[in-house]
Amino acid sequence: MPLASQTLVCSKCGAAIPVEDWNREHAFCATCRSPHSAYVFPALLSKIDQASTAAAIVAEGEASCYYHPRKRAAVPCDQCGRFLCSLCQVEFLGQNWCPGCIDAHRQKGQLSNLDASRPLYDNMALVLATLPAFLVWPTIFTAPMSLYVSARHWRTPSSLLPRTKVRFYAAVLFAVLQIVAWIWLAAYAIRYAIPHA
Amino acid sequence: MTPAPEYRRLPGRSGLLIRHSLWMKPDHLLRVRANPFSQQYRRYYFADIQALVLTELPGSAAYYWYAAAVSLSLISALLVNSRHPVLGVLDGIVAVLAFSLGWRVPNCSCYLRTSVATDRLPSIRHLRAARHAVAMVTSEIEKVQGALSRETLDAYQAAGGSGATPTNALLPISHYGGQLHWMLFGSMLFHAAVSAVIGIMGTYSTPLSIVAGASSAATLLFAVLSAFKQHRSDLARGVRWVVVSTLVLYALDVIASFAVSIYASLQLAASKKPPDAQAILNHPAFKAFRVFDVTWFLVLGCIGLVLMTLHRRSTPTPPPLVISENPGIGADGT
């Protein structure tokens, strides 16, 4: 059963968009007169298959679902081969998966298609290498931190979107420059400033 | 093994620190919400998308920013002309900023519907990019689901599908008598009168200036409150437009007042005259501004009062509330 009624609403005033205006260019909201376009696809009119929630009870001699022994098996999992009823079958990446395989692959980080978020370590390293430089003294801590983050996460999968490693390169460059500057300053102080003092 | 196809970027982007964007693969759409240190994803498989709704928004806030940008550019030109190039350049930068803020005001809104959720697509904010993005997504969805013909929709409607008549989901419109509007238009006329008196007197008077400032502030307050109060009310459209025009003209008036004051002060300073209040009042530019000020307050105040009177005549007065003498349920529930 669909969870929401098949009603589309104007996003400005919330009034319903009549069926006559679906898939029609240059329609106007009957309430607020805002021009709108409602693009409707066959999925809106099709009912969700209710058989999947009521799989048949297994008869004697028939294969049953691995997770529901009383349900009739419909397909095998393409990863582990376990028999699955239509309730447990998940179509994903063009294959049939069981929930256990999806969970296992996800925990191993092998299913990037299921990631809901990704940290951007290259941005973190770059921020650590650049922003504290305005205050100068924090760089004594943040430059090594930036180097550590860059080294630790150089091969960690970054964004799902196309992204280069240029931020990591920039972070390493800035961090190394800052560390060299601190070393030079320390050497200068030891050689000249402290003996004079 | 062939590598997985990379995401393709769809037109449209929003936000500065928190950025939204839309990406696409052959089988799904990816909505990305990114802050500087992480990205959050939401996938919509083309087989699951039921509808996309694109609504044009008025985008009237953009015109405020454009008006501010034009006024600031004018001030900038005046400053440069008065041999204050540094201030002029700074002012020009602010004008460019105002223009860019106006450019960023959204003029459309788009949401996507699946069988389990209806989500807004925040990256689609401008109509040109929106039409391009929607066309790309629609073609991909139709590759997966096929197209929905007009005949199918007509048959669906004839079969009684979707009770989406235009009236069954209307938002309630409340009745509002317009008390704040009466006060607004009254205060506008009062302010016009006080300003006219100051202009006719031609001499600086502290009490009158205080009264003029107070009436101007009251007008702004009433205008803002009226704008909020008239939202989704049954007030006449003309009255609502007068309130909106008042707010726009008020903003322009403040900017123009600032510009004229600076211009007059700089001119007086250049001519070695002490720039006191009286001298500024007698400056021709300031006199012209005062005429403009009095005129628009007077005209809009009069139009507002006339429209309010017409609106009150056309709106039937509800019968007085009759209090029943039957005792109701008391506080003790008896």
Q: pLDDT digit string (tens) for B251-290?
A: 888 888 888 888 877 777 777 666 676 777 777 887 888 8
Across A139-152, b (16+ Cβ under 10 Å) vs e yields: beebbebbbebbee
Q: pLDDT digit string (tens) for B5-46?
A: 788 999 988 888 899 999 999 889 999 999 999 999 999 999
**Would you state the pLDDT for residue A2?**
37
Q: Which residues, numbered 86 to 125 in chain B, qualify as contacts with chain A under a Cβ-Cβ cut-off of 8 Å?
A: 109-111, 113-116, 118, 120
pLDDT band at B158 (very low <50, low <70, confident <90, very high): confident
**Would you state the pLDDT for residue B326?**
46
Q: Which residues, numbered 47 to 76 in chain B, qualify as contacts with chain A under a Cβ-Cβ cut-off of 8 Å?
A: 47-58
Instruction: Using an 8 Å CB-CB cutoff, list chain B residues near A119.
Output: 37-38
**Residue by residue, what is the 3-state secondary structure of chain A?**
CCCCCCCEECCCCCCEECHHHECCCCEECCCCCCEEEEEECHHHHCCCCCHHHCCCECCCCCCECCCCCCEECCEECCCCCCEECCCCCEEECCEEECHHHHHHHHHCCCCHHHCCEEECHHHHHHHHHHHHHHCCCCHHHHHHHHHHHHHHCCCCCCCCCCCCCHHHHHHHHHHHHHHHHHHHHHHHHHHHHHHHC
Helix axes B237-270, B284-314, angle to 10 degrees: 170
Closest chain A residue by Cα to residue B170: A15
Instruction: Using an 8 Å CB-CB cutoff, list chain A residues near B54.
Output: 36-39
Give A116→chain B minimum CA distance, Å.
5
**Would you state the pLDDT for residue A55?**
55
pLDDT band at A56 (very low <50, low <70, confident <90, very high): low
Beta strand B38-45 pairing with A117-119: antiparallel
| Mean pLDDT, residues A102-106 | 84
Q: Is residue A90 over pLDDT 90?
A: no
Is B57 in Cβ contact with A10 (below 8 Å)? Answer: no
Give A93→chain B minimum CA distance, Å.
9
**Would you state the pLDDT for residue B323?**
46
CB contact B151 to A (< 8 Å): no
Q: pLDDT digit string (tens) for B46-79?
A: 988 999 999 888 777 788 888 888 888 888 888 8
Instruction: Using an 8 Å CB-CB cutoff, list chain A residues near B1.
Output: none
Cβ neighbour number for residue B260 with a 10 Å cutoff? 21
Helix segments in B105-162, DSSP class H: 127-145, 150-158
- Residues facing residue A97 across a β-bridge: A90
* ipTM exceeding cut-off 0.95 for this assembly: no
